[in-house]
Chains A and B, each alone.
Chain A
Amino acid sequence: MRLRRRQAAVVPDDPCTAALVDALGVHKVKVDGASRYLAARDASVYRDGAAGPVCYPETADEVAACVRIAARHDRAVVPRGAGTGLAGGTVPLGTPVVIATTRMNRILDVNLDNRVVWVEPGVINLDLTRHLLPMGFHFAPDPSSQQVCTIGGNVANNSGGPHCLAYGVTSAHVVAVDVVLPSGEQVRLGGVEPHQPGYDLRGAFVGSEGLLGIATRVAVRITPNPPAVATLLLSFDDVEKAATAVGAIIAAGMVPAALEMMDSRIIAAVEHHVHAGYPLDAAAVLLVEVDGPAAGVAADAARVGEIGRAHGATEVREAVDEHERALLWKGRKGAFGAIAVIKPDYYLHDTVVPRRALVEVLTAIYEIAARHDLIVLNVFHAGDGNLHPLLVFDGREPGTMPRVHAAGREIIEASLAAGGVLSGEHGIGVEKRDFMNLQFSDDDLDAQARLKAAFDPHCRANPGKVIPASHSCADIQALQRVPDGVWG
């Protein structure tokens, strides 16, 4: 009780925080500067966030209490998982109440006949897959951040990962979500039974980036582990040959479990860091994985090798054991950490283009980076055309950030001009919000705003994200600064 009085004294004029502390207890509401500083950012380059009180509820009812209290005090709410988002989706604007679901981290029920597991939103993606391993199952979405990112965050962003080429993104692996609506009401969207009456509000909720409510329980579909896996590394002396081979593999009627591409710069950085045995003289490599029953895997692996050679692969190497396979994947998944040897900062983009446009857009990306005097590395999900151009820089160097943002915008424009989309798996958040007009018409955005209004008529859930100012119920300009008197 002494601690509670002392903490409340930090913000004597904030009745919202006092009500939150009353409802949750002092240990679940943080108002100190360090907690709010940490909750003000994610893994994006966006740095203008400002968190209000940071709540750590442990039950759905506590989440609902936070939402109701915030509404009563006319404060917005922003849900938060592990904070690995790359688009500023969980960066709080206008000092809202932050609701971190990281303490809700229990795996609640595993039912193998349903092939469904109920989890709380704070369960870490890879922890779930590790839990299921002895039972012969896994959770298919596998973003590169899977060692730390949460299922709740995966739901909010409709996350992907290398293996969603064959298995589909998070939406295809979520059958139900228990949600606290912005009104504080609790509702189950979807269900374990295949047909549900009404609209597919589960589908609308997945990928809604916290703008429609907060997930408190998630029923995920689990996938049997494949009996056989083959992982191949195809090396090319030319990026264009590698990109052409990607289209040829798909056109041959195969859907590999994963089909990743890395260019020479990222190969060099990764090899230095991980020693995965990537060829340092290659212009590009393809990391191709096929999985499933043994005979199909053997046949597909052979065909991938043949197609690679027919398109000029200088080397085709198949991982001989699980150790080598793990090493090849370690190089791919650790790529973003490895670039620190080049420059301290990076800005990662996430557009998707039709496979036929891969060469054209890659060429444009190299040209754009060169023109802005920036280094760009490419490591991406080639099989589904999901580009991840990585601009590396030192933000401390004067005049760098405007060049980084200008190049980023041109990369987005080049991708859209080639028939692509703004985001493949990272989401829109605040980072790409103002680019939405480039892909969507006023009528298109109006339809998205209607969905938002149906769930959140008072615009209290994660305001200032996804929907651009022209169609948003939030006053985005006002959200960019700390409102007077709300927070010190």
Chain B
Amino acid sequence: MNDDLAGFVADVGPSGPVCVRGGGTQWHVGGAVASAATTVWAPIGVVEYEPEEMTVIVGAGTPVADLHVQLALAGQRTNLVESPGSSVGGALVVGRDGVHTLGRGRARDALLQARYVSAEGALVTAGGPTVKNVTGFDLCRLLVGSLGTLGLLGEVILRTQPIPAAARWLQGEVDDPRVVARTTRTASAVLWDGTTTWVHLEGHGTDLDTDAAALPGAFVEVDGPPTLPTHAWSMAPAELVDLDPSATGPFVAEIGVGTVHATAPCPPVAVPDALRRLNQSVRDRFDPDRRLNPGRDPLAA
């Protein structure tokens, strides 16, 4: 366990298979880590937080929930998925979005700067500390969803968002859930299980009232979203209303986004050869010996 970046760099070292562990909440994504790999842990804790910059510097090992507790004191949050025990670094390298993507944007856009340890054991900085930056290639986007196969995140700078003044979950039944996404302006999530639609509204209280009144059909306020099935499918948003429940099993679909939380596992997605080669070429350049999180493969995620 580390509380500083230098210690993390030393733990990773320049050679030998190594894996970094966060909360272990998505440890299965993209395959199992090779058993020979040494386990390391990234630094924990908020390093610097200035609410007026809308950025936070945080150790990658920090639990997302702990980070969000600190940010909430200043009325802010990030759009990283918060699940029990999940770490900032884990949320980033797995890169899955939460159910509020429609309104809050994608997790991949939260990362402004990453300080990571390369396969050679060097501390590398990707991106920059400001909310806007196009200096050089956008390596931060490459790191999100990389399952730690290009570098091991040590410390990151994240974009924060203000927490809106009001928020509520509503539940109702409509013929076409797309109408809910079209008619509401404050929806951060529209979920649909084939029968029932849930919508999360957030923003100014009066705007929420306006949106709630405009919803088609009868909606009632509820405590939260339904329990989400464990497997994630990915579809073009326009195709969601035609999805086949005999393939997915009971499901909850994110309208306007395209993620389907399904009971059945998602069948493998075909990856064109040229794209597969390009992915392998990137990995070859960053980690030719495959020492970083060996066994995990973003193409299998």
Where the two chains meet, the residues of A that have a C-beta atom closer than 8 Å to any C-beta of B are 111, 113-115, 157-158, 160, 164, 168-169, 171-172, 181, 185-189, 192-204, 206-208, 211-212, 224, 226-227, 247-248, 250-251, 253-255, 292-296, 299, 352-356, 381, 384-386, 419-428, 432, 436, 439-441, 443-448, 450-455, 466-467
Contact across chains for A200 and B130 when beta carbons are under 8 A apart? no
Contact across chains for B186 and A169 when beta carbons are under 8 A apart? no
Contact across chains for A169 and B203 when beta carbons are under 8 A apart? no
Residues of chain B contacted by A384 (CB below 8 angstroms): 130-132
B124 within 8 A of A: yes
User: Of all chain B residues, which has the CB nearest A453?
Assistant: B285
Least distance between B144 CB and chain A CB atoms (Å): 6
The one of B108, B131, B178, B234 in contact with A203, judged by C-beta atoms closer than 8 angstroms, is B108
Least distance between A212 CB and chain B CB atoms (Å): 8
The one of B151, B207, B258, B282 in contact with A201, judged by C-beta atoms closer than 8 angstroms, is B282
Contact across chains for A452 and B137 when beta carbons are under 8 A apart? yes
Q: Give A454 to B139 CA distance when docked, in angstroms.
A: 13
Residues of chain B contacted by A436 (CB below 8 angstroms): 135-136
Least distance between B122 CB and chain A CB atoms (Å): 4
Contact across chains for B136 and A200 when beta carbons are under 8 A apart? no
Residues of chain A contacted by B276 (CB below 8 angstroms): 198
Q: Give A73 to B238 CA distance when docked, in angstroms.
A: 45
Contact across chains for B185 and A208 when beta carbons are under 8 A apart? no
Q: Give A208 to B205 CA distance when docked, in angstroms.
A: 42
- Could you list some 29 contacts between A and B, CB below 8 A? A111-B238, A114-B236, A164-B132, A172-B109, A193-B235, A194-B97, A194-B106, A195-B96, A198-B299, A199-B282, A200-B145, A200-B146, A201-B282, A204-B138, A208-B137, A224-B185, A253-B163, A293-B185, A293-B204, A294-B207, A296-B207, A354-B50, A356-B50, A356-B52, A356-B53, A424-B133, A427-B134, A454-B285, A466-B137
The one of A171, A250, A381, A386 in contact with B138, judged by C-beta atoms closer than 8 angstroms, is A171
Residues of chain A contacted by B84 (CB below 8 angstroms): none
Interface positions of B from 121 to 171, Cβ below 8 Å from A = 122-126, 128-142, 144-146, 150-151, 161-163
The one of A199, A201, A421 in contact with B129, judged by C-beta atoms closer than 8 angstroms, is A421
Residues of chain B contacted by A248 (CB below 8 angstroms): 52
The one of A203, A208, A432, A447 in contact with B144, judged by C-beta atoms closer than 8 angstroms, is A203
Q: How many residues of B contact A (CB 8 A)?
A: 83
Least distance between B134 CB and chain A CB atoms (Å): 5
B216 within 8 A of A: no
Least distance between B283 CB and chain A CB atoms (Å): 8
Contact across chains for A293 and B300 when beta carbons are under 8 A apart? no
| A192-B236, A250-B52 known, 4 other contacts, Cβ within 8 Å | A198-B276, A253-B75, A444-B124, A450-B286
B269 within 8 A of A: yes
A224-B185, A253-B162, A447-B118 in contact; A424/B134 too (CB < 8 A)?
Answer: yes
Q: Give A113 to B137 CA distance when docked, in angstroms.
A: 32
Contact across chains for A198 and B271 when beta carbons are under 8 A apart? yes
Q: Give A212 to B122 CA distance when docked, in angstroms.
A: 25
B227 within 8 A of A: no
The one of A197, A386, A451 in contact with B142, judged by C-beta atoms closer than 8 angstroms, is A451
A293-B186, A424-B134, A454-B285 in contact; A355/B178 too (CB < 8 A)?
Answer: no
User: Of all chain B residues, which has the CB nearest A206?
Assistant: B138
User: Of all chain A residues, which has the CB nearest B282?
Assistant: A454
Residues of chain A contacted by B282 (CB below 8 angstroms): 199, 201, 204, 451, 454
B54 within 8 A of A: yes
User: Of all chain A residues, which has the CB nearest B236?
Assistant: A192
Contact across chains for B275 and A187 when beta carbons are under 8 A apart? yes
Residues of chain B contacted by A192 (CB below 8 angstroms): 236-237, 258
Chain B interface main SS type: mixed
Residues of chain B contacted by A295 (CB below 8 angstroms): 204-207, 210
Residues of chain B contacted by A352 (CB below 8 angstroms): 128, 130-133
Contact across chains for A455 and B278 when beta carbons are under 8 A apart? yes
Q: Give A115 to B103 CA distance when docked, in angstroms.
A: 13
B256 within 8 A of A: yes
A198-B271, A295-B207, A421-B133 in contact; A207/B138 too (CB < 8 A)?
Answer: yes
User: Of all chain B residues, which has the CB nearest A193?
Assistant: B234
Least distance between A440 CB and chain B CB atoms (Å): 7
B4 within 8 A of A: no
Residues of chain A contacted by B123 (CB below 8 angstroms): 443
Residues of chain B contacted by A386 (CB below 8 angstroms): 132
A187, A427, A436 — most chain B CB neighbours (10 Å): A187
Least distance between B66 CB and chain A CB atoms (Å): 22
Q: Give A247 to B53 CA distance when docked, in angstroms.
A: 8
B35 within 8 A of A: no
B105 within 8 A of A: yes
B279 within 8 A of A: yes
Q: Give A384 to B146 CA distance when docked, in angstroms.
A: 28
Q: Give A341 to B234 CA distance when docked, in angstroms.
A: 55
User: Of all chain A residues, which has the CB nearest B138?
Assistant: A207
Contact across chains for A172 and B105 when beta carbons are under 8 A apart? yes
Q: Give A265 to B279 CA distance when docked, in angstroms.
A: 50
Q: Give A254 to B161 CA distance when docked, in angstroms.
A: 9
Contact across chains for B129 and A385 when beta carbons are under 8 A apart? no
Residues of chain A contacted by B205 (CB below 8 angstroms): 295
Least distance between B247 CB and chain A CB atoms (Å): 15
Residues of chain B contacted by A444 (CB below 8 angstroms): 124-126
Sorted nearest first, the 8 A-B pairs with minimum C-beta distance are A203-B141, A295-B206, A296-B204, A293-B207, A113-B238, A195-B234, A251-B52, A421-B128
Contact across chains for B145 and A199 when beta carbons are under 8 A apart? yes
